[in-house]
Amino acid sequence: MDRRLGGTAAVAVLALVAACSSNPKPAATTPQVSAAPKADSIALAKARQDSIARADSLARAQALAMSHTDSVRSEVMRETVAPAKDVTNLGLTEAENATMTDQIHFDYNKSDLTPEDLTQLQQKLEILQGHPYLTVQVAGNCDERGSDEYNMALGERRAAAGKRWLEAHGIAGDRITIVSYGKERPLDPGHDEAAWAKNRRDDFVLSRKVG
């Protein structure tokens, strides 16, 4: 009796040991795909597109500026070989014509009107008020320093400053046009401050109003 019970107990112990020693198979898992590489790829592609778009925009702006500069150069060449405009039919006295064609000048890299500029503009204003059939083109100019593109923009600001003052004091906007010649029309070809000071200017060109 004791011997049978002992045998049965031994068999039970062996079965339990076998059950504990067997390694259960791990549960099957689904591989996790990280979203980070995909997100990085999308961000990189967008950055490349943005870079290309900026490069295209810059190239278009540079091409437009170069085209405008070339156009100005062509106009300057035409005016250089063309005969001077006949101003005898403008109805001005010699003194009035001299006053209207006097330039105003600017400090380096500035488009602000100086006290001397305001004095000259006041004299031009009185002549324009007395001759309502006249129109005037204000042409902004710069010295040789700086890029073509920068000086074209600076010349335009200088011309606009003259126009704004005349408009603010009663001259109709449709009687005033502006143009920038940048550094393409120097009065003095020198390369010093005396020459540069002459070239930083607004020119005033008169015409008879059409219509």
3-class SS at 182? strand
Strand partners, 23: none
Q: What domains appear along the chain, each with residue ranges and CATH number?
A: 88-208 (3.30.1330.60)
d(CA 93, CA 43): 70
- Give the start-end residues of each E strand in 17-161: 104-105, 134-141
CA trace torsion 43, 44, 50, 51 (10° rounding)? 160
**At residue 23, does pLDDT exceed 80?**
no
Report percent pLDDT > 70 for the chain.
67
What digits encode the pLDDT tens for the residues 55-65? Answer: 777 767 666 65
The model's confidence at residue 43, banded by pLDDT at 50, 70 and 90, is: confident
Nearest 5 degrees, angle CA 80-CA 86-CA 90? 135
What digits encode the pLDDT tens for the residues 104-127? Answer: 999 999 999 999 999 999 999 999
**At residue 82, does pLDDT exceed 50?**
no
Q: Which of 16-25, 50-59, 141-150 has the lowest mean pLDDT?
A: 16-25
